[in-house]
Structure 1
Amino acid sequence: MRTKANSELIGFVFLGACFLLFSFHKEIKLSESFFSDSLLTFNVIFISILLEALPFVLLGVMIAGMIQIFVSEEQISRLIPRNKFLAIIMSCLIGALFPACECGIVPIVRRLVGKGMPLFAGVGFLLTGPLINPIVIFSTYMAFGEDLKMALLRMGIGLVIAIVITAFISVLFKKNQLKLSKDSFHTEAQIHVKQPLVIRLRSMVEHGIDEFFDMGKFLIIGAFLAAFVQTFISTRSILDLGDGLIGSTIVMMGLAYLLSLCSEADAFIAASFEHLFSKTSLLGFLIYGPMLDLKNTMMLMSVFKLRFVIILTILITGTVLAVLLLIHPLI
C-alpha cells in the first residue's frame, strides 16, 4: 500500500514539475549555458508529446474503469462470436469505431482481456482502434490535400494487416498473456454488481485514477525516450539510410516508431515526405506507427508478458512490411 502511495506521489510531483517548467520557463532566470538549445527543444517536445497523449489516455482509463465496474464477464462472452474467424473480423471492425490513440487503447484492452475477451480479439481491437477510426481517416484525407485514395489505402490495407496479425495471435497464444491474473479483474467486479449506482460510479472513477497512474509512468518514460530521439538524433540521417523500396519503407516504419506521433496527427508529418518517398513507404509510416511506437511499447510491456510483446512486435513489423511490398505494384 505504501509503495503504491509513493508511486502516486512521485507521479504527481514529476507531472507537476514538468508543467511548471513548461509554463514558466521564460520567468525562470537561468543563464543560457544552463539550458542549451537542445535541452530546451527536448523540453518542448517532451511536454508536447505528453499533452498530446494525456487526453486520450484519460479517456481510455475512464472507459477501462467503466468496463471494470459495469461490464460483466457474461456480457463480454456474448459479445464475441463463437466462430473464431468471425470473432477476428468483428474485433477489428469494432476497434475501428473507437476514436482512441495507441496510448488510450492499451488500458481499454487490458480491461477487456481481463474480463474474459479472448486475447486475439483484444489484439484486433488494439491494432485497429488507433489506425482506422473516423478521426484518423479524416485527418489523412485532409493532410494529403483531400486525396481520398491515401485515406482509403490506409484504412483498407491497415484493416487487412490487423486481421492477419490477429489470426496469427489466435494460433500462437491460447492463454491469457496479462501480467495480472484474470481473478484480480473478476473478484472486484462481482463485488460491485449489486451496489447502488452512486457507489459504482465512484468506484469507476477510482479505477480510472488507479489505471491512469499505472499507465502514466510508462507513458512518461516512452515520451522521454521519443523526445530524446527527436532532439538528439538527426531525422535527415535516418532518412538517408533509405535506399530503394525495401530500405525506404523500413526507414519510414522506423521513423514512425521513434517519433511516436499521435495517430490523429501523423498524416500531416507523412505528407511532408511525399516528395521524397513512394506511397508504399508513406503507408508504412501511416500504418506501422499507430500499431506500434516507442511510447506504446512501454505501455504494452507494463500490461502484457515480455515474451508476448516481443512476438507481437515481430509480427506487426514483419506483416506490415511483407503486405506493403506484396501489394506495391497495385498502389
Structure 2
Amino acid sequence: MAKPVLEGAQIPVNTIVNVFLGIILQAVPFLLIGVLLSSAIQVFIPQSFIERRFPKSIGMGMLVAILGGFCLPVCDCASIPVFRSLVRRGIPLPVAVTFMTATPVINPVVIVSTYYAFSGNTGIVVGRIFFGIVAAVLIGLTMGFWPPKGSVLAGGAFDRLLCSCGCYDDVESITTFKGKAGLFIRHSQAEFFGVGKYLVMGSFIAALFQVMGTGLFTKAQDGAGLAVSILIMMVMAFVLSLCSSSDAIIARSLANQFPMGAIMGFLVFGPMMDIKNVLMLSSGFSKAFIVRLLLTSLSICFVLVFLFFNWGGM
C-alpha cells in the first residue's frame, strides 16, 4: 500500500529495492567467509599457540597482518568478524587494526577488480596498494602510541547470543574434534546472524544514498579545490558503503568529474570505513573506539592522499 504513495512522492521504490538486494547479494558471501574464518580462529586455534607463535614485536606483527591482507580474498564485510576474533584472542590492537584496514584495500580480488575497472592502469593499482598499506600501518601505530582507554570490546546482546551456544571463554575445555566442530557451527551461525543484521541496516541506508544522494556530491564538486574534492569523495565512499571488490567500477565512472586525488581517497578510505562497517563494528566494540577508529582513518587517509597529489601526484 505504501508503494504508490512513495512513488507519487517521486521516490523510486523499485530502484532502491534492487540496489539494496544487489548490495546484500554481493556482501553476504564475503561476510560468510569472514564469519567462518572468525569462528575457526576462535574455536580451532588455541590461545597458547597464538602466544607462542605470533611475532612478539609490533613491527613484525604488522608485517604479518599486511601479508595476510594480500593473501585473503575477502572484502571489508569479512575483515570485521576476523578483526574481532583477533582482538579477543589477544593479538595486539595495532596489529589487528592494521589487518582490518589493510585487507579490504590490498587483497587479490580488489587488486584485480581495480586493474580491470581502470583498463589496466597499473599506476592506480599500485597507488591504491601503496596508500592502503601506509594508511593501515599509520592507523595501527596510533593505537600503539596512544592506546584506547579501557576495553575496546563491548559486551551486550551479541556476547550473550554467543555465550548461549557455549561461551568462547570455555572453548579450551573442549578437546575432541567432534565437540569443536559442533561449537564451530553454532558460533558461525550466531555470529552470522548477529553481525548480519547490522549489514542489512547499513546496506539499506547505502541503497538510499546510492539512488537518491549521489547527485548532491557531484554538484558539490563544481569549482571545488583538491582538498574539498578529496573530502567529498571520501564522504561519498562512506555513505555509499560499496563492497571493496567492486567499488573501483563506481570510482572509474566518476573519474571524469573528480581529480585523481579524490578518486584515490575514495578507493582507499571507503573499504576501511563506511556505514555498514561502522554498524557491524558496533556489534562488538565500544562506541568510543569506533568513533576514534573512524576519525583516525579519515584523517590519515585524507592527509596522505592530499599531500601526495598536492605535491605532484601520479
User: Which of 49, 52, 55 pairs up with 2:29?
Assistant: 55
Matched, 1:255 2:255: no
Normalising by structure 1, we get a TM-score of 0.85
> Once the 2 structures are TM-superposed, how far is the Cα of residue 118 of structure 1 from its aligned partner?
1.3
Aligned residue type for 2:137: I
Normalising by structure 2, we get a TM-score of 0.89
- Measure, in 1, the Cα distance between the counterparts of 2:171 and 2:2: 55
- Measure, in 1, the Cα distance between the counterparts of 2:226 and 2:6: 41
> Once the 2 structures are TM-superposed, how far is the Cα of residue 89 of structure 1 from its aligned partner?
3.0
Between Structure 1 and Structure 2, how many residues are aligned? 298
> Once the 2 structures are TM-superposed, how far is the Cα of residue 94 of structure 1 from its aligned partner?
1.9
- Measure, in 2, the Cα distance between the counterparts of 1:31 and 1:217: 23
Matched, 1:93 2:67: yes
Residues 60 and 108 in structure 1, CA contact (< 8 A), matched pair in contact too: yes
> Are the structure 2 counterparts of residues 280 and 79 from structure 1 closer, same or farther at C-alpha, using a change threshold of 3 Å?
farther
CA RMSD of aligned residues (A): 2.0
- Measure, in 1, the Cα distance between the counterparts of 2:71 and 2:3: 48
Q: Could you tell me which residue of structure 1 aligns to residue 212 of structure 2?
A: 232
Secondary structure, aligned partner of 1:129: helix
Q: Could you tell me which residue of structure 2 aligns to residue 150 of structure 1?
A: 124
Deviant stretches of 4+, over 6 Å: none
Q: Could you tell me which residue of structure 1 aligns to residue 4 of structure 2?
A: 33
> Once the 2 structures are TM-superposed, how far is the Cα of residue 147 of structure 1 from its aligned partner?
1.0
Aligned residue type for 2:75: C
Matched, 1:318 2:302: no
- Measure, in 1, the Cα distance between the counterparts of 2:189 and 2:87: 19
- Measure, in 2, the Cα distance between the counterparts of 1:130 and 1:163: 14
Q: Could you tell me which residue of structure 1 aligns to residue 179 of structure 2?
A: 199
- Measure, in 2, the Cα distance between the counterparts of 1:44 and 1:170: 43
Matched, 1:308 2:308: no
Secondary structure, aligned partner of 2:74: coil
> Are the structure 2 counterparts of residues 280 and 202 from structure 1 closer, same or farther at C-alpha, using a change threshold of 3 Å?
same
Aligned residue type for 2:112: F
- Measure, in 2, the Cα distance between the counterparts of 1:79 and 1:117: 11
Structure 1 gap ranges (5+): 1-29
User: Which of 195, 199, 206 pairs up with 1:219?
Assistant: 199
1:226-273 per-position Cα deviation (integer Å, ceiling 9, x unaligned): 11222332x122122121101111111111111111101011111111
Aligned residue type for 1:81: P
Matched, 1:271 2:255: no
Aligned residue type for 1:191: S
- Measure, in 1, the Cα distance between the counterparts of 2:294 and 2:257: 27
- Measure, in 1, the Cα distance between the counterparts of 2:143 and 2:13: 41
Q: Could you tell me which residue of structure 1 aligns to residue 112 of structure 2?
A: 138
Q: How does 1:71-82 map to 2 (within 5 A)?
A: 71-82=45-56
- Measure, in 1, the Cα distance between the counterparts of 2:41 and 2:228: 42
1:160-208 per-position Cα deviation (integer Å, ceiling 9, x unaligned): 11111110011222664111499x765222122x12x233212111110
- Measure, in 2, the Cα distance between the counterparts of 1:168 and 1:241: 32
Matched, 1:187 2:162: no
Residues 252 and 281 in structure 1, CA contact (< 8 A), matched pair in contact too: yes
> Are the structure 2 counterparts of residues 79 and 292 from structure 1 closer, same or farther at C-alpha, using a change threshold of 3 Å?
farther
> Once the 2 structures are TM-superposed, how far is the Cα of residue 278 of structure 1 from its aligned partner?
1.8
Residues 66 and 98 in structure 2, CA contact (< 8 A), matched pair in contact too: yes
User: Which of 102, 105, 108 pairs up with 2:82?
Assistant: 108
User: Which of 190, 212, 220 pairs up with 1:241?
Assistant: 220
Secondary structure, aligned partner of 1:288: helix
Aligned residue type for 1:33: P
Structure 2 gap ranges (5+): none
Matched, 1:123 2:123: no
Stretch deviating more after TM superposition (138-147 or 220-229) = 220-229
Residues 88 and 124 in structure 1, CA contact (< 8 A), matched pair in contact too: yes
- Measure, in 1, the Cα distance between the counterparts of 2:2 and 2:90: 56
Q: Could you tell me which residue of structure 1 aligns to residue 280 of structure 2?
A: 299
Secondary structure, aligned partner of 2:106: coil
Matched, 1:177 2:159: no
Residues 130 and 291 in structure 1, CA contact (< 8 A), matched pair in contact too: yes
- Measure, in 2, the Cα distance between the counterparts of 1:303 and 1:125: 17
1:268-289 per-position Cα deviation (integer Å, ceiling 9, x unaligned): 1111112222221110010011
> Once the 2 structures are TM-superposed, how far is the Cα of residue 320 of structure 1 from its aligned partner?
0.4
- Measure, in 2, the Cα distance between the counterparts of 1:305 and 1:297: 11
